[in-house]
């Protein structure tokens, strides 16, 4: 505890001033266009297509339902093989009419299995039990609720929240950082959440503080979110507990990245290959905190999320609350449909998002933003040119890497060197792409390179495992052989001993017999 208190004191001192991270870009925000109208809840679609593959941290969930089966709103319909990953839940009540492979929103671009639900319009809940006395609940109980409610990081990373919370419980954290620094252009779902549901966020912050035993909570917002600051300040007065504070950080991309935000707030650097947990910190998105309040206080699993629908290809950009499984074209229609020459539909922001194959893909837990980009938004494709070693990419890289060097290593498959130069620390922010005068798609190369390193690591693990198994088997066989040889030797020794013994007995008997004969010869 003493160690934690001093860590808190250090973090408090460090947070009294805002620090800076290396590099980054000042980008046009383009958020105002989607923040002018209030949040609106979109009614359930005629068909919901709930993907069983919701994130990239595990395989797809296994369906728990069959076609023809009735489901209640919030009922688990898919479970993951990794227990920490929780469940996928039915977004509304109705009937499962099919399990089918359809286009989904996933970075791989591949189709995925979906549970197709026909809503009955009755919205009949299968409630989880609210945890009434959550202020005094055991942290393990809260962690378990976060798991069963299927919570994931709603900032787009969709890492299972229960894993992070369990890590914090096991290792201990002094500060919980709630990330509202939504630094990527166009995305405004977190800003709208903080403006319109600030009490829910504050309650979620308190729930997570209880679950992680953190001593303080920082909600980080951008310095241009004046309305948000006022709304949160007023919510703190009504439902805060004195341990939640709001900190405004400079608006610079990618300040909302976990590592960058930790550095800005504390001046501390998350070690290469490490986690904020290594510094006694846990970082979660503000949307995740609000979902934690829903799960614990209301007993509602994660079945909906706020989605920004924006871009110059959208008639009336805004933020919508949509059930998971709602086809994306229905969100676009709710925003007045497309306008202009839409060239690309993106899930996420313009820097880190990925292109969607079709607007028939449904809303998933990762869907923080749907962006319709026209030709004017996109840089006209230029031929890729050789690197001129200008160093611009290095200047803007927030991970303090040498992108030009990494590019050389990845394109030449120098994997050991790329690993040594920190390829796995690349956060794929795209800053280097943005400034590269040679139009080299650096972030794409690094995404590919990281995939290769992950595969190599898992192949190495598999090979090491096979080698250990082989060595263990050899050792076992050797041991068995040695045991057998020892047993045979012992047997022989015993046999030898016993034949020797028999011979000695026979000799003794013979001597005795002879001695008796001599005695009889001497008798009168
Ligand atoms: S910005 Fe592009 S051209 Fe300049 S050093 Fe980096 S990779 Fe090379
Ligand atoms: S994509 Fe990777 S290498 Fe490029 S600037 Fe971002 S962190 Fe640095």
Ligand 2, atom 6: closest residue by C-alpha: 429
Rounded to an integer, what distance in angstroms lies between the CA atom of residue 166 and that of residue 130? Answer: 20
CA of residue 423 to ligand 1 center, whole Å? 16
Q: Which residue of 443, 451, 453 sits with most ligand 2 atoms within 8 Å of its CB, as the best mutation to test the pocket?
A: 443
Ligand of minimum distance to the alpha carbon of 405: 1
pLDDT of amino acid 56: 65
Cα separation, 318 vs 255, whole angstroms: 23
311 within ligand 2 shell (Cβ under 6 A): no
Ligand 1 site-directed mutation target among 23, 393, 421, 443, most atoms within 8 Å of CB:
393
What's the 139 CA to ligand 1 centre distance in angstroms? 49
CA–CA distance from 416 to each of 5, 274, 424, 444 (Å)?
40, 19, 12, 19
Q: Where are the alpha helices (DSSP H) in 397-441?
A: 403-411, 415-420, 431-435
Q: Whose CA is closest to atom 3 on ligand 1?
A: 387
Which ligand neighbours the alpha carbon of 439 most closely? 1
Determine contact, residues 345/379, Cβ cutoff 8 Å. Answer: no
Atom of ligand 2 nearest to the CA of 403: 3
Confirm if 353 and 369 have CB atoms less than 8 A apart. Answer: yes
The CATH H-level superfamily of 1-24+130-299 is NADH-ubiquinone oxidoreductase 51kDa subunit (3.40.50.11540)
Closest protein CA for atom 8 of ligand 2: 397
Give pLDDT, residue 348. Answer: 95
Strands 369-374 and 40-41: unpaired
Please state the φ and ψ torsions of residue 140, each to the nearest 5 degrees.
-65, -35
Q: Which of 392, 435, 437, 439 to mutate to test the pocket of ligand 1 (most atoms within 8 A of CB)?
A: 392
508 in ligand 1 pocket by Cβ < 6 Å? no
Distance 394 CA to ligand 2 centre (A): 8
| Closest ligand 2 atom number to CA of residue 429 | 6
Whether the CB of 434 sits within 6 Å of ligand 2: no
Contact partners, residue 437, CB within 8 Å, separation at least 6: 385, 388, 390, 392
83: which 2 tokens?
């227990």
- Rounded to an integer, what distance in angstroms lies between the CA atom of residue 190 and that of residue 382? 34
Res 6: pLDDT: 55
Looking at all shown ligands, the one closest to residue 445's CA atom is 2
CB atoms within 10 A of CB 402: 16
Minimum-distance ligand 1 atom for the alpha carbon of 385: 3
Cα 431 to averaged position of ligand 2 atoms, centre (Å): 6
The per-residue pLDDT for 394 is 97
Q: How far is the CA of 214 from the centre of ligand 1 (A)?
A: 43
Q: Is 403 in the pocket of ligand 1 (CB under 6 A)?
A: yes
Question: CB atoms < 10 A from the CB of 408, how many?
Answer: 15
Per-residue confidence in pLDDT tens, the chain, 524 aa: 434 445 555 555 455 578 999 999 999 989 999 999 999 999 999 999 999 998 766 678 999 999 999 999 999 999 988 877 789 999 999 999 999 999 999 887 889 999 999 999 999 999 778 999 999 999 999 999 999 999 999 998 889 999 999 999 999 999 999 999 999 999 999 999 999 999 999 999 999 999 999 999 999 999 989 899 999 999 999 998 888 999 999 999 999 999 999 999 999 999 988 999 999 999 999 999 999 999 999 999 999 999 999 999 999 999 999 999 999 999 999 999 999 999 999 999 999 999 998 999 999 999 999 999 998 888 777 889 999 999 999 999 999 999 999 999 999 999 999 999 999 999 999 999 999 999 999 999 999 999 999 889 888 888 888 888 888 888 989 999 999 999 988 888 888 778 777 788 888 888 888 877 766 655 54
Name the residue ranges covered by the structural domains of the chain: 1-24+130-299, 390-524
Q: What is the Å distance from ligand 1's center to 453 Cα?
A: 23
- Residue 3: what pLDDT? 45
Burial pattern 240-251, b for ≥16 Cβ within 10 A else e, equals beeebbbbbbeb
Whose alpha carbon is nearest atom 8 of ligand 1? 387
pLDDT score, position 345:
96
Rounded CA gap, 80 and 212, in Å?
24
Please tell me if the CB atom of residue 430 comes closer than 6 angstroms to any atom of ligand 2: yes
Residue (of 182, 465, 437) closest to 473 by Cα position: 465
Alpha helices in 273-347 (DSSP H): 286-293, 328-334
CA max distance for the chain: 145
Give the integer Cα–Cα distance in Å for 332 and 328. Answer: 6
Which of 258, 428, 438, 445 has most ligand 2 atoms within 8 Å of CB, for mutation?
428
The reported pLDDT for the residue numbered 498 is: 81
**What is the Cα–Cα distance from 500 to 493, expressed in whole angstroms?**
10
Closest ligand to 440 CA?
Answer: 1
Q: What is the DSSP code string of 26-50? A: ------GGGSSS--EEPPPPSSEEE
Burial of 334 (C-beta count, 10 Å sphere; 0-12/13-18/19+): middle
SS (H, E, C) 167-211: HHHHHCCCEEEEECCCCCCCCCHHHHHHHHCHHHHHHHHHHHHHH
Residue nearest to atom 1 of ligand 2 (CA): 428
């Amino acid at each position: 505890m003493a160690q934690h208190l001093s860590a808190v004191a250090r973090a408090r001192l460090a947070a009294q001033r805002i620090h800076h991270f290396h590099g980054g870009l000042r980008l046009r925000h383009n958020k105002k266009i989607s923040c002018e109208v209030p949040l609106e809840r979109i009614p359930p679609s005629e068909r919901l297509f709930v993907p069983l593959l919701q994130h990239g941290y595990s395989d797809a969930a296994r369906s728990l339902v069959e076609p023809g089966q009735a489901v209640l709103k919030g009922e688990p319909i898919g479970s993951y093989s990794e227990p920490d990953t929780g469940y996928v839940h039915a977004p509304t009540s109705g009937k499962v009419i099919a399990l089918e492979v359809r286009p989904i929103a996933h970075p791989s671009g591949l189709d995925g299995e979906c549970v197709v639900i026909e809503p009955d319009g009755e919205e009949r809940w299968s409630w989880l039990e609210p945890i009434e006395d959550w202020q005094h609940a055991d942290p393990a109980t809260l962690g378990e609720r976060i798991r069963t409610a299927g919570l994931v990081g709603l900032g787009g990373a969709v890492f299972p929240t229960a894993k992070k919370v369990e890590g914090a419980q096991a290792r201990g954290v002094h500060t919980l950082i709630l990330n509202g620094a939504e630094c990527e252009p166009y995305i405004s779902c977190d800003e709208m959440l903080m403006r319109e549901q600030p009490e829910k966020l504050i309650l979620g912050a308190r729930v997570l503080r209880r679950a992680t035993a953190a001593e303080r909570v920082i909600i980080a917002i951008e310095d241009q979110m004046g309305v948000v600051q006022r709304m949160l300040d007023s919510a703190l007065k009504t439902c805060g507990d004195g341990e939640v504070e709001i900190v405004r950080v400079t608006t610079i991309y990618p300040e909302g990245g976990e590592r960058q935000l930790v550095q800005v707030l504390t001046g501390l650097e998350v070690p290469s290959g490490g986690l904020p947990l290594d510094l006694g910190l846990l970082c979660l998105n503000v949307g995740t905190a609000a979902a934690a309040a829903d799960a614990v206080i209301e007993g509602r699993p994660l079945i909906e999320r706020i989605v920004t629908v924006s871009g110059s290809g959208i008639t009336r950009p805004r933020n919508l609350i949509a059930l998971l499984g709602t086809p994306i074209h229905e969100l676009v229609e709710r925003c007045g449909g497309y306008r202009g020459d839409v060239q690309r539909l993106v899930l996420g922001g313009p820097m880190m998002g990925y292109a969607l194959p079709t607007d028939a893909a449904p809303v998933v837990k990762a869907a923080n933003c749907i962006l319709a980009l026209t030709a004017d938004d996109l840089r006209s494709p230029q031929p890729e040119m050789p690197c001129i070693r200008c160093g611009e990419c290095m200047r803007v890289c927030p991970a303090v890497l040498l992108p030009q060097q990494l590019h050389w290593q990845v394109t030449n498959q120098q994997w050991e060197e790329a690993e040594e130069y920190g390829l796995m620390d690349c956060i794929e922010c795209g800053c280097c792409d943005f400034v590269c005068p040679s139009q080299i798609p650096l972030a794409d190369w690094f995404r590919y390179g990281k995939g290769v390193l992950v595969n190599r690591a898992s192949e190495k693990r598999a090979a090491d495992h096979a080698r250990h198994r082989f060595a263990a088997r050899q050792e076992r066989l050797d041991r068995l052989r040695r045991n057998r040889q020892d047993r045979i030797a012992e047997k022989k020794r015993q046999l030898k001993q016993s034949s020797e013994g028999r011979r000695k007995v026979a000799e003794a008997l013979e001597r005795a017999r002879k001695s008796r004969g001599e005695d009889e010869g001497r008798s009168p």
